[in-house]
Homo-oligomer: A and B are copies of this chain.
Amino acid sequence: MADASFIRQIYDRYPEMVTKGDVDGIVALYAEDASIEDPIGSDPRRGIAAIRAFYEAAAGSIVMKRTGPVRIAGREAATPLVILMGNEGDQKALDVISLMSFDASGKITAMRAYWSFDAMRAATADDLKGASQ
C-alpha cells in the first residue's frame, strides 16, 4: 500500500491539511507510536497525543506548500516545502525539507523537518502565488 504513488498523494494532502488546520485529518495519517522531530535537533515528540498537540499549535495559522517533487526511496520520502506566515503585505517565508517514513500499511512512523528560524525571509510573489489560507 505504501508505494511511491501513495506517498506522493500524502504529500499532496498533508500541506493542504496543515493550511486548513485539519488536525484530525493529519493525526489520522500517523501511526500510534510515531515520532516527530521538528525541527531536526529538537526533542522528539512521541505518540499520537504529543503529535496532536504539536499540530494543534501550528496548523491553521500558517500556509504550507510543496515547492518541488517528492523524492522517495522505498518507504522513506523527502519533500521540499515552504511555510508562509504573517499578515497580508508583510508575509514571511520559511523553507523546509520534510522527511517521512511509512509503515507497510501507509501510516507515517516518523516525520523530521529541516529548517531554522534564522533562515526566515520575506515572502516573494512566487511564494504567495495561489497561497490563500
Contact = CB atoms under 8 A, between A and B. Distances in A.
A78 interface: yes
B76 A119 contact: no
Copies of this chain: 2
Interface string A37-68: 00111000000000000000000000000011
Interface stretch (A19-27, A28-36, A84-92, A110-118): A110-118
Contacts of A114: 71-73, 76-78, 99
Contacts of A80: 68, 71, 80, 97
Nearest to A40: B73
Contacts of A10: none
A113 B99 CA distance: 11
12 contacts: A4-B118, A4-B119, A40-B74, A40-B76, A68-B80, A71-B97, A72-B119, A73-B116, A74-B116, A78-B114, A80-B97, A99-B114
